[in-house]
Amino acid sequence: MRLTQTHTNRYMALGLLLIGLSFSNACSNLNASTVQTDSLETINRPIYTMNDFIDRNFAEPIAETYIDYTPAPVRNSVSNFFDNVAYLNVILNDFLQGKGQQGLADSGRFLVNSTFGLFGIWDHATPLGLEKHNEDFGQTLGVWGVGEGSYLVLPFLGPNTIRDTPDLGVSTVTNILFYVSNPIAVPVALLGFIDKRSRFDEAIKFRNDAAVEPYLFTREAYLQHRKFLIYDGDPPIEDDLFEDDLFPEETFADLEPEVELVSESQPASSEPESQVPHSVQKTEVLQSDQTDSQQDIGNPVSSVPPLPITVSIR
Amino acid sequence: MLQRKYKTCITLVFLSLIMTAPSYASGATDTVSHLQTALIQSMKKGDRLGYPDRVTQLGSIVNQSHDFRLISKVVIGKYWKTLSPDQQKAFTNMFKDLSVSMYANRFNSYGGETFTIISEKDAPRGKRKFVDTSFTKSDGEEIRFLYMLHKVSKKWKILNITVNGVSDLALKRVEYGGILKKNNGFQILLRTLQSQIDKNANGQ
């Protein structure tokens, strides 16, 4: 069958959609339980580095230009539109997870925003009490009891797990734009990618500031956040201080804090609160090691991971 | 006589209700509330205060509200006992400074953000408490902050903060462990933390 322009447009749009959707999947799913399932780390790390390079040199500048020159209300409308065209995936997974009431509410949300909201540009559903939810097929598999499998970093697409990967396909075929064969599909999908990347720009910057080992930070945050989403924001409370990682002779009691022998009239802290940060005072330990070997792991601070987190303080 | 007995009975009932009533607004919630109030105040003054002043303003409350000695042990994990007392102290001090610098760097301007206390629960093991809060950004987005606290000399102190399901303790533990297992890992870790503090100070 000869490849027509329609097919070409559709495949390009599909490619951009996949990138945008997985970006969204990665960006919005940055929680991690304490599962250390990274059997593919030797493969994941180079792919992560490649993704990082692409993000810093291409995606980030484009997204920041978009943010700088597009007014916030316009960006919000763009985001609402793309959220709406992808919302059938949320509705589908509501029902697959047995959340019938939520599925009906989300169906109502979709209908309200698609009609009165002009294809989703304006969010008229939220003021009516039809809140936005976040469901996907990876979460559905988690609810069904499927184990998450190995952590996976996909080229261009970012963090994933074996369990979450099928959502790439499900979310694509449930996206309304997938069925648009008009030549406009490609630029629209590109705009969708830029929109997704811009939404998490602040979160990416926060992660770049906070991470000392960006690959591990991204992995753990992703896995924890996925668990958070599977439990709809209410995961079981883990009263865990990682006691399993103690030396054999150490017990939980050894982790108890040293009692601060201060009187009620004194501040709780057992040592005077210095107004000068300790880091400004040259510590003997740090100074005495100035001659140590300069070999290190390549200065993890300079390695900027491309994938955003949902946590954004400002 | 009957009236006196009646009054005594009422008093006893009243006292028993007070003594058995759950202390919803307990010390744990107070600790979190004080910290969050200080953060909001820092944000409101952020435009007028520079980074050093925010460090000064937040340093005391952050140090008093967190149990950095136990947090330091946990984030270092199994490597803690391989460190000398000087190294342990150096790390704890560096970690304190990093935490304060992070707060001072991030909570630096105000746009109507609010913190809301949602609930307080006892931890399953009974020794700790969880305080669930919500941080509402200027655009209306809500972020859940779940604080884990325990008691130190009658004061409740923060051990861990989980933000939208992401545990700060778990994150740091994995990251620091990844660095510590390298050759000369402890020095690399200290240099890395110092670098982060410097970045925060420069607003990067």
φ and ψ at residue A269, rounded to 5 degrees:
-65, 140
Residue A134: per-residue pLDDT: 95
Q: Could you tell me if A3 lies within 8 Å of chain B, comparing CB atoms? A: no
Mutate to test the interface with A, among B167, B189, B191 (most CBs of A within 10 A): B167
Residue of A nearest to B160 (CA): A241
- Whether A222 and chain B come into contact, CB under 8 Å, resolves to no
Per-residue pLDDT tens digits for B128-166: 899 999 999 887 788 899 999 989 888 999 999 999 889
Task: Tell me which of A184 and A243 has the higher pLDDT.
Answer: A184
Contacts of A147 (CB under 8 A, 6+ apart): A163
Q: Output the pLDDT for position A306.
A: 34
pLDDT of A276 higher than 80: no
pTM higher than 0.80 for the full model?
A: no
Q: Which of A241, A254, A256 to mutate to test the interface with B (most CBs of B within 10 A)?
A: A241
Please say whether the beta carbons of A180 and A13 come within 8 A.
Answer: yes
Spatial contact of B171 and B74, defined as CB atoms under 8 Å apart: no
ipTM score assigned to the predicted complex: 0.81
Min distance A144 CA to chain B CA atoms (Å): 20
Burial A110-130, CB ≥16 within 10 A → b, else e: bebbbeebeebbbbbbeeeeb
CB contacts of A217 in chain B (<8 Å) are 171, 174-175
Share the mean pLDDT of chain A. Answer: 75
In B45-140, which residue ranges form alpha helices assigned H by DSSP? 51-65, 68-76, 85-106
Query: How many cross-chain Cβ pairs, A to B, lie less than 8 Å apart?
Result: 190
Give percent helix, percent strand, percent coil of chain B, each to the nearest 5: 60, 20, 20
Q: Nearest CB to A212: which of B100, B135, B179? A: B179
Q: Say if the Cβ atoms of B107 and A310 lie within 8 Å.
A: no
**Can you give the pLDDT at residue B2?**
59
Q: Taking chain B (204 residues) in consecutive chunks of 10 residues, what is each chunk's mean pLDDT? A: 59 48 66 92 83 89 93 92 94 95 86 90 83 87 90 91 91 92 91 92 74
Indicate yes or no: CB of A278 within 8 angstroms of CB of B97: yes
Q: How many CB atoms lie within 10 A of CB A215?
A: 22
Q: Work out the minimum CA distance from B175 to partner chain A, whole angstroms.
A: 5
- Residue A271 has a pLDDT of 42
Q: How many residues does chain B have?
A: 204
Per-residue pLDDT, A252: 47
Residues 6 or more apart whose CB falls under 8 angstroms from that of B2 comprise: none
C-alpha of A198 from chain center? 13
Tell me what pLDDT residue B140 has: 78
A260, B170: Cβ pair inside 8 Å?
Answer: no
Summarised one tens digit per residue, pLDDT across range A130-170 is 999 999 999 999 999 999 999 999 999 899 999 999 999 99
Q: Quick check: B170 and A32 CB within 8 A?
A: yes
What is the structure's pLDDT at A244?
53
